[in-house]
Amino acid sequence: MDSNIFSVVLGKAYRLINHGPTVLVSARHDGVDNVMAAAWACALDYAPPKLTVVLDKSAKTRELVEKSGRFVIQVPTVAQLKLTHELGTHSLASEPDKLKRAGAELFEIDEHDQPFVAGCSAWLACKLIPEPHNQKTYDLFIGEIVGAWSDSRVFKNGHWQFEKTDPALRSLHYIAGGHFYAIGESLSISDSSQVILE
């Protein structure tokens, strides 16, 4: 594991996706690993931390999630723009070498038998909370976050540091048709409710 990666306390795990980044969803079942991009992932609860993610019925990753009951949500970076787009527009079902062709590099984290995507800024290991009605009707999956990690160069002490680090580590926010935005300027409200441009 990269020496910059440290665990994040579960009570602050929601902060890793609170700003609405496009994410990568990875899962493993029966020796098969896959990764897809998803713009529709969202925090759901603080404690125990939970999140939602929409997984289309055509996605091979969805099948791995349903069979294994586990998945990883990770936050890709500006440096991974092309990788993210490729993982979101190609399917393992029709391209068995999808991950290799996209250049996705996987790594392991002890005690979590899941495929983690190298080079991301944050990782959330999730346990599926089965909700068959939501899954069938809305393609909506709920996960409890059971482990969280960040690249400490860009998220540390419970806070994103986008404005203080390499711009290549900023998060991606997808719109449509290959068009993304990077996260931008930091803005804070002080205790006295004054706006601070950081």
Q: Enumerate the β-bridge partners of residue 48.
A: none
**Rounded CA separation 102/85 (Å):** 9
H helical segments located in 37-146? 60-68, 81-89, 98-102, 132-138
Please give the C-alpha separations between residue 43 and each of 54, 169, 177, 185, in angstroms, as whole numbers: 12, 21, 25, 22
Which residues between 151 and 190 bind a second copy (CB under 8 A)? 158-160, 162, 170, 172-176, 178-190
Please tell me whether residue 50 binds a second copy under the rule CB under 8 A.
yes
Of the pair 109, 129, the CB lying nearest a second copy is at: 129
Q: Pick from 5, 25, 39, 169: which binds a second copy (CB under 8 A)? A: 39
**Rounded CA separation 14/73 (Å):** 11
| Shortest spacing between CB 67 and a second copy, in angstroms | 23
Which residues between 82 and 121 bind a second copy (CB under 8 A)? 82, 85-86
Of the pair 115, 162, the CB lying nearest a second copy is at: 162
Number of Cβ atoms within 10 Å of the Cβ of 192: 5
Please tell me whether residue 19 binds a second copy under the rule CB under 8 A.
yes
Span near a second copy by CB under 8 A; candidates 41-49, 62-70, 108-116, 118-126: 41-49
CB 26 within 8 A of CB 115: yes
Please tell me whether residue 9 binds a second copy under the rule CB under 8 A.
no
CB 51 within 8 A of CB 71: no
Please tell me whether residue 22 binds a second copy under the rule CB under 8 A.
yes
**Interface with a second copy by CB under 8 A: which residues?**
12, 15, 18-22, 39-45, 50, 52, 54, 78, 81-82, 85-86, 133-134, 138-140, 142, 158-160, 162, 170, 172-176, 178-191, 193, 195
